[in-house]
A and B are shown apart, each in its own frame.
Chain A
Amino acid sequence: MTIETSADTTLASRLALVWEELEERLERVPILQRLEAGDVTIVDYTRLLFNLRQQVVDGTPWISRAASNFDAEHFALRSAAIRHAEEEHRDHLMLERDYVAVGGSLDDLRGGRKNIGSEALSGYMFHYASRPNPIGLLGAMFIIEGLGAKRAAGWAGRFQEVLGLADNQVHFMRYHQEADAQHTGALDAILASDLIDDAAADEIVRCAQVVARLYALQLEELDR
């Protein structure tokens, strides 16, 4: 990681740099390399869903926890977090339906364990969300929603292309293109508002860096 703080650099450009580094790292993730090369199997897709689910199911709980830790002075952020939690609280069910649609067992999926990366990611999110006014989590959302809006549909399309999957088997990844694009729009507005001072911007960038690394770790450590 390079830039930590810089008074004359905008938050948007600092986050763009974090995103760029994440993209470079994703290019080295084995399952994404195989997906790009067209070498994935149905087992790879099933495994990816299985691993994602164990962390996705925690998504709404940490957002809700964050919402509960914003005080009245951060009312706008509290409202945004509550809205976001409400919008996403059924997402894991969509992923579970996809998993069953490709022949997976719902009981196995629900009985699954987080991989090493998911443990770290989820643990960090809950830890951060437990702090008073956890404004840095906007950086976490920047990464996670960004992946949904910019990358997930591409992955879904490539899995469909390589494996001949139907739309009903890739709902979760497809849906996020639209839903997360809306979320990132709302997020961009908050990030550009006067709710974010310099200290908050530093926190947001730092949180984005950590979440970017841990998200990639989750994809690297499938089944481990």
Chain B
Amino acid sequence: MPAAAYLTGFGRYLPGPPVENDDIARILGGDDPVTDRIRRRVLAANGIRQRHYALGADGRPKELNEELAAKAVTAALDDRGLQANDLRMLACATTMGDVLVPGFASMVHGRLGGGPMQTLSVSGVCTSSLAALDAAAAKIRLGDHPRAAVVGSELASRSLHQSRFDGRREGLDSHFLRWMLSDGAGAVVLEFQPHPSRPSLRLDWVRQVSLADRHPACMTAGLRGGEARPGDTWQDLSVADAEAAGMFVLRQDIGMLGDLAEEGIRQFEELVDTGLVDIGRLDHVLCHYSTNAFRDIALDAIRRRAPRLDEDRWFSNLETCGNTGSASIFIALEEAWRTGRFAVGDTILLAVPESGRFSFAFAQLTVVGPDTRKDV
């Protein structure tokens, strides 16, 4: 049996109560007739019905991103029956931490506690959590650490509030994300041995690829006009000037999303062509997508290769948990695990396209039973 990494604990933290579509404006603001109309249109397209925000009634954050991450890790540890001091590594993924310095993982470790351990901060967008998983799993497989936690967390709502939009006339590039993103964290515990008394998910492989060499940035903040130029990023201007230039608004170049979907399908096809994915043995697909509009595109692409894959083998909780960026894939995995979708022997494909600048991450998991050998 080769050395492997097993996912043995699953946790998530979604701040506050679920927020229904009609209640979003109460928290994020933006209830003027024009904004209201755009919001309804965006929501109708993305299909999200509920999401969570770490904001109070006044629209101000009530928690830090590091707190969301630490709570999700604690939930995953509880699920596995471990403590933070059992961990030797903490890999944290997020799009934006709470502070400029130090690194996000240092802050999460400080909040989590648990003794000395290796930390890794992965910054990126949606694929960053699978990049963190890949790095932690590699250390487990090498035998450097017996146990690690991996967390993806986001507190995007602070960039979505009306205060960022006051006095600005923003187009669909910002509204698309404003009514799509929300807050949350998802975490997994990784170990070098399977769970002693219940099934675990063996990580078969992770594949992450960037196509930034052939595509411009697609989802941006902190720059002007979608292109980074010397002396003209948010760090080069006063905060007021950067804000006035709309640099703190998250934007998506919607015109590129068709290309993104095509590239994603090409990457999936390559996994099949090279044999990493065996279509005949693909039991579950958990795909992260930003809006339901991409759901059918992705499902059709996989169906072309795997006609027997029923829709009930396809899992997403975008509609009820929202799009939480890097946290989404772990939040979906946690729910699929907790609700008993997986049986021993099943294979699970995780698929995460990232619009940031065209990157894609996939991972395959196999459900394995506990070790039946008994300690003497």
Q: Could you list which residues of chain A lie within 8 angstroms of chain B, going by C-beta atoms? A: 30-31, 34, 39-44, 101-103, 160-169
- Given A42-B193, A102-B192; A166-B373 close (CB under 8 Å): no
Contact A30 B1 (CB under 8 A): no
Judge whether B101 is part of the interface by a CB distance below 8 angstroms: no
- Given A101-B144, A101-B146; A164-B3 close (CB under 8 Å): yes
Contact sample, A vs B, 16 pairs, CB 8 Å cutoff: A39-B373, A41-B371, A44-B375, A101-B143, A101-B145, A164-B1, A164-B3, A164-B192, A164-B193, A165-B3, A165-B143, A165-B192, A166-B192, A168-B142, A168-B143, A169-B192
Give 4 A-B pairs besides A31-B376, A164-B2, A169-B3 with Cβ atoms closer than 8 angstroms: A103-B192, A162-B1, A164-B4, A166-B3
A199 to chain B, nearest CB (A): 44
Residues of B contacting A165 in the complex (Cβ-Cβ under 8 angstroms): 3, 143, 192
Q: A31 vs B375: C-alpha distance in the bound complex, in angstroms?
A: 11
Contact A43 B375 (CB under 8 A): yes
A35 to chain B, nearest CB (A): 11
Contact A103 B1 (CB under 8 A): no
A31, A34, A103, A164: the one contacting B146 at CB < 8 Å is A103
Contact B143 A41 (CB under 8 A): no
* Chain B minimum-CB-distance residue to A166: B143
- Given A39-B373, A41-B373, A41-B374; A167-B143 close (CB under 8 Å): yes
- Given A164-B4, A165-B3; A102-B142 close (CB under 8 Å): no
Label chain A's interface by main secondary structure.
helix
Interface residues of B, count at CB 8 A: 19
* Chain B minimum-CB-distance residue to A162: B1
Judge whether B71 is part of the interface by a CB distance below 8 angstroms: no
Q: A60 vs B192: C-alpha distance in the bound complex, in angstroms?
A: 32
- Given A39-B373, A40-B373, A41-B375; A168-B144 close (CB under 8 Å): yes
A146 to chain B, nearest CB (A): 27
Residues of A contacting B376 in the complex (Cβ-Cβ under 8 angstroms): 30-31, 34, 44
A167 to chain B, nearest CB (A): 6
Judge whether B141 is part of the interface by a CB distance below 8 angstroms: yes
Label chain B's interface by main secondary structure.
loop
Residues of A contacting B145 in the complex (Cβ-Cβ under 8 angstroms): 101
A31, A44, A163: the one contacting B1 at CB < 8 Å is A163
Q: A28 vs B96: C-alpha distance in the bound complex, in angstroms?
A: 60
Residues of A contacting B3 in the complex (Cβ-Cβ under 8 angstroms): 160, 164-166, 169
Q: A43 vs B376: C-alpha distance in the bound complex, in angstroms?
A: 9
A125 to chain B, nearest CB (A): 29
A106 to chain B, nearest CB (A): 11
* Chain A minimum-CB-distance residue to B144: A168
* Chain A minimum-CB-distance residue to B4: A164
Residues of A contacting B146 in the complex (Cβ-Cβ under 8 angstroms): 101-103
* Chain B minimum-CB-distance residue to A167: B143
Residues of A contacting B371 in the complex (Cβ-Cβ under 8 angstroms): 41-42
Q: A167 vs B192: C-alpha distance in the bound complex, in angstroms?
A: 13
A162, A163, A166: the one contacting B141 at CB < 8 Å is A166
B103 to chain A, nearest CB (A): 25
Q: Which of B3, B143, B145, B146 has the most CB of A within 10 A?
A: B143
Q: A41 vs B375: C-alpha distance in the bound complex, in angstroms?
A: 6
Contact A163 B193 (CB under 8 A): yes
A151 to chain B, nearest CB (A): 21
Residues of A contacting B374 in the complex (Cβ-Cβ under 8 angstroms): 41
Residues of B contacting A34 in the complex (Cβ-Cβ under 8 angstroms): 376
* Chain B minimum-CB-distance residue to A30: B376
Contact B193 A166 (CB under 8 A): no
Residues of B contacting A162 in the complex (Cβ-Cβ under 8 angstroms): 1
Q: A39 vs B375: C-alpha distance in the bound complex, in angstroms?
A: 9
Q: A157 vs B371: C-alpha distance in the bound complex, in angstroms?
A: 19
